[in-house]
Structure formats: structure tokens, C-alpha cells
Amino acid sequence: MMQAHPWMLSARSLAQAYRRGTLDPVEALASVLARMDQVNPRINAVVSSDRQAAHAAAEASARRWRSGCALSALDGVPFTVKDNLLTGGLRSTFGSALYADYIPDADELPVARLRQGGAVLIGKTNVPELTVSGTTDNALFGLTRNPWNPALTPGGSSGGAVAAVASGIAPLALATDGGGSIRRPCAHTGCFGLRPSTGRVPRSRGFPVFLHDFEVAGPIARSVDDLVLAMRELSPWSAADSRSAPFQALPFCVPEQPAPARIALLAGLGEAPVDADSADAAEASWEALSRLGHAPVALSPAQRATLVQALADINDVAWPVLSGSGLAWLMATHHAGREQDLSPPLAAMLEQGRQRSGADLMGALHAVARLRDALSLLMQDIDFLLLPSAAAQPWPVHQPHPPLIAGRPAGPRGHAVFTAFANAAGLPALALPAGLGATGMPLGIQLVGRHGADGWLCAIGQQLERAHPFAPLWERQTMHDAGACGTGMQSAREET
């Protein structure tokens, strides 16, 4: 059995070792940084770091553990932050030339909460430009590769975050999900991730928000247990974010034994192409949950048709209008006259956004309202909806999206049809690995619950994970590949 180096350990295991005195945060940081030096040149997950500050934080944590005064269960645990979240004193770029040299004075609230709990920030993870793409590449830092196969993408926009977690750079990442940006990359790299209910993780002091209320901050890890540890630090109510008001008297609580749930499966969306392995993985997970005591519920034809139409409206109507209009607002109010700093795809999105009318925007918001009503009615009859996290498996790293899915032509967001609805409705969604496909790449599923059901969702995720554990990359692959420099990662295949 492979020796467990500190960089291989989960956040929970690290904290347990600190408590026992068999490891301290300084040693853990040294192991993690050595791992980063080994694998990051290959995958380009971490793009900015301050090692001096990380060492100071680890040393302070070690002193607290020695004196029995740890600040939280994450004290001394290394973590990364997605580069669209502000980090005081550390470059924060949003993947854009608009913010190429921006060093904030203060942390955004979720970052501050992890650091106040003693967690050790080791770096910022790469994102696509302004986080509006499903693959991770930008003119500042270049592209990020999938640790499972560096010729393929880890997806986006949290591609750097999942690549760091999956490759062993850090056990925990703080990221965002505005249309599936946590869940789809998790599927592509075998990670666990949570898109919390809107308002469950308060935010303030961040970059300008231009995706309406779709985007939330949430954790990525290698186990549901670690997601729960992070959520306990991230979730307390804050008056700085009015969306968190429903949670003022509702602490984040995960039951040890989840109550039986009614779970419906949606493995396809009408005529939209879906990768067969991904659909099969969702169905297999649905059956596994049934064996664990949960009730599989079949959607009626009317329920299915209503749901499919509502999701299509979000994907085809609301998302393009809100993203384009939001970008037009961002440029007009914060970066007037700097259009030359946008890449051609973002410039085209800007132009489309500027051509949108008020009627277009109201139509998009009306589609959001219809979706929310449809899901509210549906969730009188079910507790959770189970879907694939992505409609496609990872594609070649230089392509912006998969041109074909299941042998059929697919548009720029054809791979993303299963995710944006949860953002539009403000619902919690848990991403879980679901085995490997025929290509040897990870598959992923998501469970989506009603607003506020984050704890119940995580409890069911823990139950499914324990019944069907998913081994990390380094436990699956041999380390003889010279091209991967002994990292346990596959070497890059011939790129097409």
C-alpha cells in the first residue's frame, strides 16, 4: 500500500493528526508545497501564491495546536481560492486583463472566514476570463489541464480549483458556482463539490456581480466530510449579505443518519445529446440510493415535460441574456473604454449584451420565475432530483467546448445543460464522483434539493460515498510514467 504522505490526507485526517501531535501544520504545508512544485508545472492549477504568508500562517497554527487552542477543525489545513474571489494582499485577477495587477486590501467574506478559522491559504487557482466559460484558459496564465489526462480539460470555471484538489495540491478549495462551475469540473476530475443554497454562504467585499443572483461560493474537496467541515466555517449568517437572512436562525447541521428521501431521476433533457456513460452513471447512482433505503420516484410524463421545458428556457433564454447583459453592465459601470482588454469571445458576448433590450431582460427573469415555480411544485412530490453533472466527458484542452456529444453536434453550452437551473432557482446541489467511464475518465452526478436542504443533502452524499468510495487519482495510477515526473498522472496524449 502506498505510504500516505501529508499531501494525500484529507482535511479531517490532517486535523486529527494535528490533534494527536503526529503531524503539525508546518510539516503539512511543506509536503503540500513540494507536491505543488512537482505537479503544478504540468497542469497549471495554481497561478498566484505567497509562500511567506503561508509559512507564517502554518507556524501560527502549529503554536495553537501545541497549546490546545485551535481555532477550528480546519486550523492548519491548506486550501486554495479560486481567482474570482478576493484575497487581501494576494493578486486577484478574475482571469482578465481588466484586473491583471489587482491586489485587494481585504479578503472577500468566505475567504476571511476560512482564514479566521486558521486554514492556510497556499494560492489562487486558475479561471477562464471573467469565469464565463466551461473550460479554463485565459491570456494572463494560459490553460489548465486535467490531472487525469493533461491532454483534456478539467472544465470550468473552477478548473484550477478541481485540478489542485484532484492532483493533491490541497485537500480543500474555495470556489464559486454561477451555472455549474463547481459541479461540472468536479465530474471531470473525480472531486466532491457543493453549490450551496443561495444565501447559505454569505458574500461581501467581492468583485462586481454580473450574473444576477446565480453565483454562490462553495467548497470542493475529496470527500463529503471535508465539504461539511468547510461549510461549518463558511455558512453562519451575515447581515452583510441580505440573501443569508433565511439562515439567521438555521445553523448548518448534517444528521448522522439521513431521513429516507424521495429521489427522482432526470438523466436526459428532451432532444439534448447526453454522454451515455454519464447517463448510465446517474441511473446506477439512483439505484444505489434505493438500496440504501431511499425511495426512487418516477416523474410523470407531465412533470418531466414541464421540467425539461423550464430547464431549456433557462439554458436557451435566460442564461445568454443574463450573462451578456451582465457583462455589458460591468463594462459600462466599471471599465468604460477598456473593450480592448477583452478577448474576442468576450468582446462578442459584450456586443450581444449591448444589443439586448429591457424586454429581453424581463423575459429572462420571467423564465427564472417560471422555473422556480415549476420546481416548487415538483418538490411537493419529491425531496431530491438526481442528474448527471455534465452532459459530456472531458474534451481536448484546446477546444472551448465539445463539438460532439454522443456523436451528435453540440453547441457551446451543450455540455452544461444539467446545471444552470439549480443556480437560477437558488437550490443546493451536491456533486459526487460516480466511477469511471469507458475512456478511464471520471464521471459525476449531482443531487439537487429544495432551498435550505444543504445538510440533508450532505448526509445523503456521505451515505452514498461510504457505500461506493471513490479512490483518488494517485491510488489508481502507477507512478512509472516519466512524462508525468512521478506524479501519478497520465502523460499528455497526442493532442488533437
The radius of gyration of the chain's CA atoms, rounded to the nearest angstrom, is 21
Q: Residue 203, by phi and psi: left (phi above 0), alpha (psi -120 to 50) or beta? A: beta
pTM over 0.75: yes
pLDDT band for 1, please (50, 70, 90 cuts).
Answer: very low
Confidence of residue 489 (pLDDT cuts 50, 70, 90): low
Of 35, 32, 42, give the one whose Cα is nearest residue 145: 42
Altogether, the residues listed in the chain come to a count of: 496
In the chain, % of residues over pLDDT 90: 95
> Residues with Cβ < 8 Å from 384, sequence gap 6 or more?
261, 262, 263, 264, 447, 448, 449, 453, 457, 460
Separation of alpha carbons 99 and 131, rounded Å: 13
**pLDDT tens for residues 407-425?**
999 999 999 999 999 999 9
The per-residue pLDDT for range 191-234, each reduced to its tens digit, is 999 999 999 999 999 999 999 999 999 999 999 999 999 999 99
Q: What is the pLDDT of residues 380-416, one digit of tens each?
A: 999 999 999 999 999 999 999 999 999 999 999 999 9
**8-state DSSP, 216:** E
CB of 112 closer than 8 Å to CB of 130: no
Q: Classify burial at 494, counting beta carbons within 10 Å of its beta carbon; exposed 0-12, middle 13-18, buried 19 or more.
A: exposed
Task: Name the CATH superfamily for 6-484.
Answer: Amidase signature (AS) domain (3.90.1300.10)
pLDDT value of residue 198 = 98
